[in-house]
Amino acid sequence: MAAAGSAKVALRVAEVLETIVSCCVGPEGRQVLCTKPTGEVLISRDGGCLLEALHLEHPIARMMVACVSSHLRKTGDGAKTFIIFLCHLLRGLHAVTDKEQDSLISKNIQTHRRHWKNCCQWKFISQALLKFQTQVLDYIMGHYLSKHFLSIFSSSTKERTLCRSSLELLLEAYFCGRVGRNNQNFISQLMCDYFFKCMACESGYEEVFELVDDYFIELNVGVTGLPVSDSRIIAGLVLHRDFSVYCPADGDIRIVIVTETIQPPFSTSGSEFILNSEAQFRTSQFWIMERTKAIMKHLQSQNVKLLLSSVKQPDLVIYYAGLNGISVVECLSSEEVSLIQRVVGLSPFVLPHTSSQYEICNTALMNFCKPLILRSKRYVHLGLIGTCSFIPHCIVLCAPVQGLVEQHKSALHGAFKMLRQLFKDLDLNYMIQASDQNYASSPLTYKNSRESTPLPEIVNGSRQSPYQGTVVKNKGKLATTQTYLKVYSNFVVPSIELETHIPRSIQKVTPTDTYQADETLRYLSLAKTRIVDDSEPLMESNSANSTTENTRIEISDENLQVTEIAGRGSMLPVREKSLEMCTSHGYCFSSIPAGCVLPVGGNFEFLLHYYLLNYAKKCHQSEETMVSVIIANALLGIPKILYKSKKGNYSFPQIYVRTLHAIQTHPPMVSSQTGLESVASKYQLLTSVLQCLTKILTIDLVINIKRQPQEVYDQDSEEEV
Amino acid sequence: MSRLEAKKPSFCKSEPLTSGRVRATLCVLKGILTSSYGPSGRLKQLHNGLGGCVCTTSQSSALLANLSVTHPILKILTTSMQNHVSCFSDCGLFTAILCCNLIENVQRIGLMPTTVIKLNKHLLSLCTSYLQSEFCGCRILVDFSSTQTLLCLVRSIVTSKPACMLTRQEIDHISALILRAFLLTIPENTKDCLILGKSIIVPLKGQRVTDSTVLPGILLEISEVQLMKILPIKKSDTFKVALFCASLSGDVSDTGEGTVVVSSGVSLENAVLDQLLSLGRQLVSDHIDLLICQKVVHPSLKQFLSMHRMIAIDRVGAALMEPLSKVTGTQPIGSLGSISPSSYGSVKDLCTEKFGFKHFLHLIPNEATICSLLLCNRNDTAWDELKLTCQTALHVLQLTIKEPSVLLGGGCTETHLAAYIRHKICNEPESILQDDGCTQTELQLLTEAFCSALESVAGSLEHDGGEILTDMKYGHFWSAQPESPSVVDWPDLLSRCGCGLYTSQEELRWSFLKSTRHPFAPQTCLPHEAVGSANNLTLDCFTAKLSGLQVAVETANLILDLSYIIEDKN
């Protein structure tokens, strides 16, 4: 059985999913109850969770869900927006293809009519989409949108410090889409408190995110039957089990971790123990006992008060531990052990092999160790002293039902994932067509903000000498004889955008002129400008910050002159993008710097919509125009849903008109007290959706088979066998 | 290989609360719960039609645990209540009924869920801050210098469980016992933190309730055969006890992961038995009087010990180990080898006792916070209910120690709170209207729904068709006998309010609870002398009720917020 896999089918599927998902979007979204076959009841507003729970049958729907989950694995956010955006894109495409005969859109379309009409029309569109995604989107992001970005870091200091109020706004916006309406503020406050309590120093936030994300399950305790408002943060680490033996201790408390039983086993695996007499048996048992006793004595002499064990210890060990005043916690999970090891920097205690020799064992100090009772269940509460930039704290999550605890847990975990993503740079690279008039003129329009500083870059050394010892690693495009190099720096400053373009005279590089560029030609050299001056001068303005990936450039030229521009980098927390352009196709490398945010409420969508429309107007190729317009309009779908229930001044058309006006008149928008959202995750979402759409459009037939599809074996692996 | 089966698509349903089936089932559940509420609540008999025991109860914990609900919404509701009960033991029915009432009332007024949830949250915070405030008119601070308040609290709990089948005297007896058992678990001299002991409930079915008693220490049940073996216990100041958690059965213990090859003629069992007997000799030389083992003791060892006038009790079980180690003041011994003298414990006295048809060995500690509550009732189901009641009461007393206040019971807190909220919203609605952007009408509609939900919880206390009223001064709850004449002299017909704090002889005006009345400010700040003089109050646990109120509103909000249900039918 086969069915046509057209965009129409995909649209129908997407519309069904949209209706389900759209009820959970935004601050006004409602909850969905999912029951599992095991009888568990889950409460969720998480798009990914809902789509998984639906167990969809339709192949196209399954493909969409697969795309969504792969996107979620990467970013941990945006499943609902994904579906809505996809649906609107499909709708737009559908409308265009229906209308196409009327040729309302553009005259050029007429010439492409045969493309659109023939059987490969979807394929054609999908190619256009792919082209858009790889070329146009990054360009628009890096070029136009970037000046609207705000930063989560506070701009007052030189170093990147987290601004608490912006983090609060960011988290509030995140939780608006994740947890029930009555708990949004509470949970986001809890998360914010937790984060700042855990952070030992200002700069260690990346490590904290990483650690909390990795060990999230170990760092929280769920309690059911209590109101949500009883949730709290407690200092120290809570282990999800009780003491096997507890001896109250105070003062200097030391801990050890063991991963094997302390009592020596009668026989180890792989060996044979031959018993010849009853006396021998008794002696060996006596030896085992004495040895256990001796080890515990030794631990006591080291002032060890707590023994953490990843395995179950025999009664004998527990008994001697109790006699020596050592508390014991058994059966720790491997994650708990590795968390403790990471937090306090402690390696497991290796049992000495000969009875006489005891070396000083690995211990760590801690503040307290006591039982903690939550809802009549006993836990172990450890006051570990963190040695890294993470101060251990635990979140106690309370809710009337388990489903709600789970929801809050996954929302918190998602928030840490999101933050972890946010503090990474996201690279954009795009190619600029030489024909792009708009771009070529744009650098000139920007005001050079560094007018006051004399530009020390251009140093004319008239010496002419051949390049010697240069390693040539020509990357395809650079091999062209006529290479125009235009370099300009691009500064992104929190809240104000200074874009500085240093227009360079077009330089000629002789065919013999070779230089080595490592892969991408992104340079890292702090506040340095290298000017390579030759008869055909090649100039590179180069100043980067520490966050850009370090890529080497080796210019083995005697004439290389390096001019330090002191103070340039220190004036402002400058995040810089070096963009480079070649003759007809310039490769631009740019990035969305870490911590870039925009106010919520469809700001990103409005901005992108506006710039895409502008771009489309200047475009000459019909399909590019078409794709840009479709995407621009589909973007509006999200704010439309957000403002659906609002009336009067806050209705969608009003907001739309006002925002567009604001963009036109004064570009950098001033953020009011609204929430914030990460730009990088929005961008990633957009690319994921476009990729998914391309995938959908390239399918022309869905064939139903009775068997499982045969797995395609890897050719190489078979050869190896 | 396991069979792979394609997953069936899930079942997805929008706006679940609007469906008639859900409303009907919610209504049935509410009916079950309301009819069981309070001292005059009707009993429910739970059985499964295939035999097995029949459970007669009116307690939420037993009811909800045995009811099997299938609809996801009801499941959320019942699990939420069960979780509350397992945290606080008390106020389960209150929470469940309030939650049902809230859902029902809100649906009736048909406001947007967004507004409802926001406003409910505001009203809830009004309630909680009032209940915790100093001028709260329905909260009494517990005076620990007398047992009066605590006794009232326990008596209210026992009275509210009609399935225990107790008479008035029996209620008094049991209440006093529970309180005494609780007081025995409080250590005499504490430093900074109070660690409560434990009351162990010992079952004794088929006896009169008044035979129940409380004893300090632990009662270990022993069979008659064992009793015969125990020779008359000689008198001494202390008795030395060896408490073992290791098995003394003589089995060859864990030999590790490798193989053990035993030559012929070598018997490991003999070797272990030798070890056990040498342990016995050590115990004898250490003058141990009593050996208690969690697991099994080898018969030869038992024989050996009894020859040396030592009592050996085995198979005590893991549950009793902690109280036993507290009573004897020692850690359990986990070794069969040399035992350090410090690991022996002691008890003050040791005697055998007979209650009903059961024999017990009674361990009387020197100073410990463990006591045994020997609980008797006529039949199994009534005993089970009584046991649950005792556990509830003990738990409530613990909670009261932590948070030393109690609330007025008998429906008075609910009506008083409703009156307070009504008055507050009527007079100063600005605080809520400001930051929420909802209209005055919406607020009034929802306040009415919220307050009438509270009041109808109080109203569910009345099951005999009597009139339910509230007074216009304190906002307390009053119920009158049924078949009262239409025009009546209320002061004669009513005697005391629900909690028993006020009598009808005061100059009061009454109004029917169901009727609409003008919002009035109920009198806040309970006068001290009024509380002191009243000796038979009905009281509720403060912590449990406060948390129950919060949980009920939160659960109702959660259920009202649901827009879809996705049921996985695999």
More confident residue, B427 or A528: B427
Does residue B375 sit in helix, strand or coil?
A: strand
Mean pLDDT of chain B: 87
Q: Highest-confidence range of A313-327, A514-528, A646-660, B257-271, by mean pLDDT?
A: A313-327
Asked if A158 is an interface residue toward chain B (Cβ–Cβ < 8 A), one would say no
Pairs across A and B, CB distance < 8 A: 219
Note whether A400 contacts B551, CB cutoff 8 Å: yes
Minimal-distance CA residue of chain A relative to B342: A323
Does residue A339 sit in helix, strand or coil?
A: helix
Asked if A315 is an interface residue toward chain B (Cβ–Cβ < 8 A), one would say yes
Minimal-distance CA residue of chain A relative to B274: A282
Cβ-nearest to A33 among B270, B555, B562: B562
Cα–Cα distances (Å) from B203 to B86, B118, B380, B387, in that order, read 22, 49, 10, 8
Asked if A273 is an interface residue toward chain B (Cβ–Cβ < 8 A), one would say yes
Euclidean distance between CA atoms B341 and A323, whole angstroms: 11
This prediction has a pTM of 0.82
Q: What does the pLDDT look like over B304-359, one tens digit per residue?
A: 998 988 889 989 998 999 999 989 988 889 888 778 888 899 999 888 888 888 89
Work out the minimum CA distance from A320 to partner chain B, whole angstroms: 8
For residue A520, what pLDDT is reported?
32
**Lowest-confidence segment of A394-403, B257-266, B401-410 by average pLDDT:** B257-266
| Encoded amino acid at A402, one letter | Q
Q: Which stretches within A146-183 are classed as H helix?
A: 164-176
Tell me the mean pLDDT in the region B200-210.
90
Note whether A401 contacts B340, CB cutoff 8 Å: no
Note whether A180 contacts B557, CB cutoff 8 Å: yes
More confident residue, B217 or A670: B217
- Please check whether residue B218 is in contact with residue B370, taking contact to mean a CB–CB distance below 8 angstroms: yes
Residue with tokens 């919406």: B442
Asked if B76 is an interface residue toward chain A (Cβ–Cβ < 8 A), one would say yes
Positive or negative, the CA dihedral A472, A476, A482, A484 is negative
First to last CA, chain B: 20
- Please check whether residue B559 is in contact with residue B76, taking contact to mean a CB–CB distance below 8 angstroms: yes
Cβ-nearest to A272 among B83, B261, B332: B261
Tell me the mean pLDDT in the region B8-22.
84
The answer to whether residue A221 scores a pLDDT higher than 80 is yes
Asked if A21 is an interface residue toward chain B (Cβ–Cβ < 8 A), one would say no
Beta bridge partners of B114: none
Note whether B554 contacts A286, CB cutoff 8 Å: no
- Token pair, residue B390, equals 């005792």
Euclidean distance between CA atoms B382 and B206, whole angstroms: 10
| Encoded amino acid at A55, one letter | H
Asked if B545 is an interface residue toward chain A (Cβ–Cβ < 8 A), one would say no
Note whether B255 contacts A404, CB cutoff 8 Å: no
Q: What does the pLDDT look like over A424-433, one tens digit per residue?
A: 777 766 655 4
Backbone phi and psi for residue A672, each to the nearest 5 degrees, phi listed first: -95, -165
Return all residues near B551 (Cβ < 8 A) that are at least 6 apart. Answer: A225, A226, A227, A400, B80, B81, B83, B84, B95, B99
Beta bridge partners of A238: A381
Does residue B540 sit in helix, strand or coil?
A: strand
Q: Which stretches within A221-308 are classed as H helix?
A: 278-301
Euclidean distance between CA atoms A156 and A226, whole angstroms: 42
Cα–Cα distances (Å) from B336 to A288, A559, B280, B311, B330, in that order, read 12, 86, 10, 18, 17
Does residue B476 sit in helix, strand or coil?
A: coil
Note whether B337 contacts A376, CB cutoff 8 Å: no
Q: What does the pLDDT look like over A243-257, one tens digit per residue?
A: 988 888 877 788 889
Chain A residue numbers with beta carbons less than 8 Å from the beta carbon of B322 are none
Residue with tokens 């180890």: A268
For residue A200, what pLDDT is reported?
80
Note whether B73 contacts A33, CB cutoff 8 Å: yes
Work out the minimum CA distance from B464 to partner chain A, whole angstroms: 33
Chain A residue numbers with beta carbons less than 8 Å from the beta carbon of B7 are 55
Note whether A55 contacts B561, CB cutoff 8 Å: no
Minimal-distance CA residue of chain B relative to A325: B331
- Please check whether residue A289 is in contact with residue A201, taking contact to mean a CB–CB distance below 8 angstroms: no
Minimal-distance CA residue of chain A relative to B8: A55
Minimal-distance CA residue of chain B relative to A377: B87
Q: What is the CA radius of gyration of chain B?
A: 30
**Smallest Cα–Cα separation from B569: which of A61, A55, A31, A43?**
A55
Q: What is the CA radius of gyration of chain A?
A: 32
Euclidean distance between CA atoms A28 and B148, whole angstroms: 51
Asked if A269 is an interface residue toward chain B (Cβ–Cβ < 8 A), one would say yes
Note whether B256 contacts A268, CB cutoff 8 Å: yes
Euclidean distance between CA atoms B429 and B422, whole angstroms: 10
Cβ-nearest to A20 among B7, B260, B564: B564
Chain A residue numbers with beta carbons less than 8 Å from the beta carbon of B255 are 265-267, 273
- Token pair, residue A409, equals 């847990």
Euclidean distance between CA atoms B444 and B426, whole angstroms: 8
Does residue A359 sit in helix, strand or coil?
A: coil
Work out the minimum CA distance from A1 to partner chain B, whole angstroms: 18
More confident residue, B485 or B174: B174
Give the helix/strand (H/E) hosting B403. none
Neighbours of B27 (CB within 10 A): 12
- Please check whether residue B539 is in contact with residue B407, taking contact to mean a CB–CB distance below 8 angstroms: yes
Where does the pLDDT of residue A142 fall: very low under 50, low under 70, confident under 90, or very high at 90 and above?
confident
Chain B residue numbers with beta carbons less than 8 Å from the beta carbon of A31 are 558, 561-563
Chain B residue numbers with beta carbons less than 8 Å from the beta carbon of A322 are 331
Cα–Cα–Cα angle for A563, A565, A567, rounded to 5 degrees? 160
Asked if B84 is an interface residue toward chain A (Cβ–Cβ < 8 A), one would say yes
The answer to whether residue A576 scores a pLDDT higher than 60 is no
For residue A653, what pLDDT is reported?
83
Q: What does the pLDDT look like over A649-677, one tens digit per residue?
A: 777 888 888 888 887 776 555 445 577 88
For residue A545, what pLDDT is reported?
34
Cβ-nearest to A229 among B333, B550, B555: B550
Chain A residue numbers with beta carbons less than 8 Å from the beta carbon of B275 are 282, 285
Minimal-distance CA residue of chain B relative to A57: B9
Cα–Cα distances (Å) from A28 to A31, A643, A644, A655, B119, in that order, read 10, 9, 10, 17, 15
**Lowest-confidence segment of A438-447, B154-163, B532-541 by average pLDDT:** A438-447
- Please check whether residue A128 is in contact with residue A624, taking contact to mean a CB–CB distance below 8 angstroms: yes
Euclidean distance between CA atoms B80 and B72, whole angstroms: 12
One-character DSSP codes across B413-454: HHHHHHHHHHHHHHH--HHHHHHH---HHHHHHHHHHHHHHH
Chain A residue numbers with beta carbons less than 8 Å from the beta carbon of B276 are none
Asked if B566 is an interface residue toward chain A (Cβ–Cβ < 8 A), one would say yes
What does chain A come to in residues? 721
Euclidean distance between CA atoms A399 and A42, whole angstroms: 13
Where does the pLDDT of residue A588 fall: very low under 50, low under 70, confident under 90, or very high at 90 and above?
low
Asked if B1 is an interface residue toward chain A (Cβ–Cβ < 8 A), one would say no
Work out the minimum CA distance from A416 to partner chain B, whole angstroms: 25
The answer to whether residue A550 scores a pLDDT higher than 50 is no
Mutating which of A13, A25, A33, A260 best tests the B interface, going by the most B Cβ atoms within 10 A?
A33
One-character DSSP codes across A640-708: HHHTTT--GGGSHHHHHHHHHHHHHH-SSPPP-S--EEEHHHHHHHHHHHHHHHHHHHH--EEE--SSP
Positive or negative, the CA dihedral B488, B494, B495, B501 is negative
For residue B167, what pLDDT is reported?
93
